[in-house]
Amino acid sequence: MGRELFKPNILDPPVVNMRKISNRVNVFKPSPHRMLAAKAEELARAGRDVYNYSVGQPGLPPSSELIDMLCTKAKEEPFVHFKYFSASGMYSLKEAVSADLKKYGGIDIPPSNIVITTGGIEAFHFALEITTDPGDEVFLLDPSYSVYWDLLKFLGLKIRKCPQTVDTGFQPDEECIKENITDKTSAVIMVSPDNPTSRILDEKILKLVADLAAEKNTWIIYDEAYKHIIYEGEHIWIHKYGDTLNRLISVNTFSKDIAIPGFRLGYIYGPKEVVTQAAKLKGILSLTAPVPGQWMAYYALTTDIKEKYLKYVLPIYKERRDVAYEAFRRYLPEAKIWKPPAGMYLFPDMSYYLSRLGLNDIDFAFRLAEEKAVIMLPGSIFGEAGRNHLRVTFVTQEPERLDKGIKLMAEFIEEKINKI
């Protein structure tokens, strides 16, 4: 599906004697994720009122105080706000990140063990580049963030995985983890809170992972992108177990907590050897992370702006989560849905409805987009265990619209079932 998108259009120059496109990139099919995003734009251009539940975007703009501060300071000192910085990032931002980790997690990570990256995704990419070679084995939970599967494929890695299902609040099975983290595992990837399920991993699971990683001498790559987006409970800092810090590579982003995804800013921290390699890679691949973004993050962390912003947005996101959850219960009672304590997404199992419609989740998502201008992501792009699910972003729309779009989906399903 989707390859027809790349058929030459009549305006393209004829492809005569074109030298090959590498297999490295050609193995990737256009992702339904990007195609649905394009569909949403196309529908909006055609004047349709689009209910978009597909983007992993924070629901509110960044703090206006923070934007003002960046603009004022950049005007005062334009040279330093737009110059090159060193590959590992601005030292004062690394100091601010170090203080932030102490404040929220109680952990001591020196600035020299931190590298500023171009988004969390680059931090994750670096973690894999540094700890694996093609053909090596990594462990991942299924479902997982869709881009991760593509990156693992891109790097030629073998995957061992365990499913996480709605019935257990998306907590993986301990026996499965014990069987699949072995002496051959180069890196164990954990994400908490998670995308697409928004669950916080149980402490006992993270403790088990820490113990197994020590026993098998494997790296732990811990993605903490959503560590501040929590409504009930708290983030679990895996760092505190045993000697975990010696094998831990933490992947972070400023895209979610201070809501600057377009600035492409994140960071990685870990043992000295890892961050030395990360800085080396950064220097080769893109020289430095976006410098105005580094300043913006610096201002957020060295004032009370980040804390105030989180206090402001979290109750709003929480209310939106509740509204979206209740809408599913009301309009789609046979969807198996779990109310997550964190994150930005619901991940309902729609098997009951999809089997009655005779559709898979991908075809369903495209038809729903086309007919009702309601955009949700098909669960199977997040892994086999996501099949027949939908990923529904709840933070980006106001309560009334959140409810209405889910109602429209329920009507769409009813209309189709009545026609069968």
Ligand X SMILES: Cc1ncc(COP(=O)(O)O)c(C=O)c1O
Q: Footprint of ligand X on this chain (CB under 6 A)?
A: 56, 119-121, 145, 191, 195, 223, 225, 253, 255, 261, 266
* CB closer to ligand X, 289 vs 332: 289
- Structure-block tokens of residue 378: 């098909």
The CB-based long-range contact list for 64-73 (8 Å cut-off, 24+ gap) reads 65/305, 65/308, 66/258, 66/296, 66/299, 66/300, 66/305, 66/309, 69/299, 69/303, 69/305, 70/292, 70/295, 70/296, 70/299, 73/295, 73/299
The residue number whose beta carbon is nearest to ligand X equals 119
The H-assigned helical ranges of 10-137 are: 23-26, 32-45, 64-76, 78-82, 91-105, 119-131
Q: How far is the CB of 411 from ligand X (least distance, A)?
A: 30
CB of 208 to ligand X, least distance (A): 21
**97 or 191: whose CB is closer to ligand X?**
191
Q: How far is the CB of 382 from ligand X (least distance, A)?
A: 10
3-state per-residue secondary structure call for 334-375: CCECCCCCECCEECCECHHHHHHHCCCHHHHHHHHHHHHCEE
List Cβ neighbours of 418 (8 Å cut-off, separation of 6 or more): none
d(CA 388, CA 355): 9
CB of 352: closest distance to ligand X in angstroms?
27
Shortest gap between Cβ of 183 and ligand X (angstroms)? Answer: 27
Amino acid at 390: L
Output 60 or 214, the one with its CB closest to ligand X: 60
Query: How far apart, in whole angstroms, are the C-alpha atoms of residue 290 and residue 223?
Result: 21
CB 375 within 8 A of CB 51: yes
The CA-atom distances, in angstroms, between 85 and each of 96, 122, 273 are 16, 17, 21
Q: How far apart are the first and last CA of the chain?
A: 25
- Smaller CB separation from ligand X, 265 or 365: 265
Residues 334 and 322: beta-carbon distance below 8 Å: no
In whole angstroms, the minimum distance from the beta carbon of 16 to ligand X comes to 38
Q: How far is the CB of 229 from ligand X (least distance, A)?
A: 10
What sign has the CA pseudo-torsion 359, 407, 373, 62? negative
Q: Taking the complex as a whole, how short is the minimal distance between the CB of residue 118 and ligand X, in angstroms?
A: 8
User: CB of residue 200 vs ligand X: minimum separation in angstroms?
Assistant: 13
- The secondary structure element, H or E, covering residue 303 is none
For residue 201, give the nearest of 185, 222, 181 by alpha carbon. Answer: 222
- Tokens linked to 217: 């001498």
Q: Which of 58, 405 has the CB closer to ligand X?
A: 58
Look up residue 246 and give its two tokens: 């010696």
Residue 46 CB, nearest approach to ligand X (Å): 27
Looking at the Cβ atoms of 255 and 380, the one nearer to ligand X is 255
| Residue 268 vs 275, nearer CB to ligand X | 268
Using a 10 angstrom Cβ sphere, with 0-12 exposed, 13-18 middle and 19 or more buried, the burial of residue 115 is buried
Distance of CA 409 to the CA centre of its chain: 25
Strand order in the sheet with 377-378: 345-346, 390-393, 377-378
Rounded to a whole number of angstroms, the minimum distance from the CB of residue 410 to ligand X is: 27
